[in-house]
Structure 1
Amino acid sequence: MLSFAAAALLVVVHLFSGRLRFLSGTPRSRWLSSAGGVSVAYVFIHLLPEIARGQRLFEDHAVQPFGYLEHHAYLLALTGLVVFYGLERLVKRRRDRLPKDADTPPGVFWLHIASFSVYNVLVGYLLLHREEPGLSSLIWFAVAMALHFLVNDFGLQQDHRGRFDRIGRWVLSAALLVGWAMGVFIEVTELAISACIAFLTGSVILNVMKEELPEERASRFSAFLLGAFGYAALLLAL
């Protein structure tokens, strides 16, 4: 029930993030920059150490279909980063060819949403099957992912305009619940969980930084810094 409550929180973020109009505009909202900082802090303080533990699992207990990755847990993190970087480049190129307020082509939209749906399935599954179990771990993971989804949703709204509000947020919400349901009925090996965490780690880093780095966003470095080191301090104090 606690993991379902966490999943419900993440669904609420998807469904209502578009109504938080005070977060829109340029320069970038301090709240969004702080949320990005929190997400990055969670990656570096919690997920990267879990990748290191996963690397040892790959080395000691590699089995098919993960045998090839016996010495390459970090390659999965790189793969997550590269996959989402490629998707962003594709979307931005198509976006630049369109009038300012036009929706992106349906094919590009569905490719983007499908990739984030896989992302959400992984997050939903990890609500139940993280390498570090327990209520405290669940709370910190859910808070970090909720703020991360808030950042992602504003980026997706900017890319896809009305189509994301009409369709995208519902698809992502459903994907998250599918991942949670899979976690209830399907239990995979520790190696597979490590692989999911590694891929997710690279994806989170890319998806946060792509929202913070572009100059035209006029991001708030002080807010990002506060979010990153404030959340890191909380995690380290546990």
Structure 2
Amino acid sequence: MSAYLLGIFFILIHLFSNTFIPADRIRRNKWLSFSGGLAVSYVFVYVLPSLHREQQAIEWYSDSLTMESELYFICLLGLLLFYRVQKTVKTTHKVETNQSAFWLYIGFFTLYNMLIVYVVMAANVSFIQAIFYGAAIGLHFIAVAHDLWRENPEQYNKRGRFFLALGIIAGWFIGMFLTLSTFIQAIIFAFISGAMILNVLQNELPKEKHAHFPSFAIGVFSYTTITIALKFFFEW
């Protein structure tokens, strides 16, 4: 039940994310810096340790694998693909109208959303974990939506946000009706982790001119403290 509520929450984020971001520039900088701090903390205290656990969990495939770092390689492939998409978008933006670049971004993030939500649904998270995922991934989705909105506000509001929401719905239904092996789920998690790591460090880490360091630091330390406490008390 908690996972399904998360799916609804993620859909609402993409449909109404612009209303969550303050219009005032100073408050917006503080908000995005705080959100960036949460995202960075999520990567370092949850995603990377989880990737390590997933690698350990598939050790029984060792007879058919060549080394003990296959998932890290898949993670790197996800990072490279996302970097390639970004480079293509920027090149397209320079030589053509930004329509092509915008829809390339929308297409990639629709797939990205679908895979993230599938992983969450497949994990069958508890109520406490649902709050944890909702805070981290929800703010990540808001930051992604805001970046896409800045690229083309009219097209994002008119069509783009609905495609992103459809990606979440697709991941939701796939997670409900399709059961994949632990090995395949680990590969999907590793792939989206690579894309998420690059996106967080490149796009959500606040630039100097837009950064508010106290807000960023509060985001990092507050989310890290909560994560460590939850892991200690609930043995995640």
TM-score range, shorter chain: 0.7 to 0.9
Q: TM-score, normalised by structure 2?
A: 0.86
Is 1:121 paired with 2:114? yes
2:86 is aligned with what amino acid? E
Summarize the alignment of residues 1-238 of structure 1 with structure 2, pairs less than 5 Å apart.
1-20=1-20, 22-23=22-23, 25=25, 29-61=29-61, 71-96=69-94, 104-105=98-99, 107-130=100-123, 133-212=125-204, 215=207, 218-238=210-230
Cα pair 1:40 1:204 within 8 Å, conserved = no
Q: Which 10-residue stretch deviates more, 177-186 or 110-119?
A: 110-119
Identical positions, percent: 30
Residue 214 of structure 1 deviates from its aligned partner by 7.1
Residue 90 of structure 1 deviates from its aligned partner by 2.2
Cα pair 2:90 2:101 within 8 Å, conserved = no
Name the CA shift for 1:25/1:203 in 2 (closer, same or farther; >3 Å): farther
Cα pair 2:32 2:206 within 8 Å, conserved = no
Please state whether the residue corresponding to 1:128 is helix, strand or coil. Answer: helix
Residue 12 of structure 1 deviates from its aligned partner by 1.1
Residue 9 of structure 1 deviates from its aligned partner by 0.8
Please state whether the residue corresponding to 1:152 is helix, strand or coil. Answer: helix
1:78 is aligned with what amino acid? L
Cα pair 1:117 1:172 within 8 Å, conserved = yes
Cα pair 1:116 1:172 within 8 Å, conserved = yes
Distance 1:45 1:213 in 2: 16
Name the CA shift for 1:213/1:184 in 2 (closer, same or farther; >3 Å): closer
Residue 156 of structure 1 deviates from its aligned partner by 0.8
Distance 1:47 1:187 in 2: 22
Deviation beyond 3 Å, 4+ runs, structure 1: 23-28, 67-71, 93-98, 212-217
2:147 is aligned with what amino acid? G
Number of aligned residues = 230
Q: Which stretches in structure 2 are left out of the alignment for 5+ residues? A: 231-236
Name the CA shift for 1:92/1:235 in 2 (closer, same or farther; >3 Å): same
- Aligned Cα RMSD in Å? 2.6
Cα pair 1:121 1:180 within 8 Å, conserved = yes
Cα pair 1:58 1:71 within 8 Å, conserved = no
Please state whether the residue corresponding to 1:36 is helix, strand or coil. Answer: helix
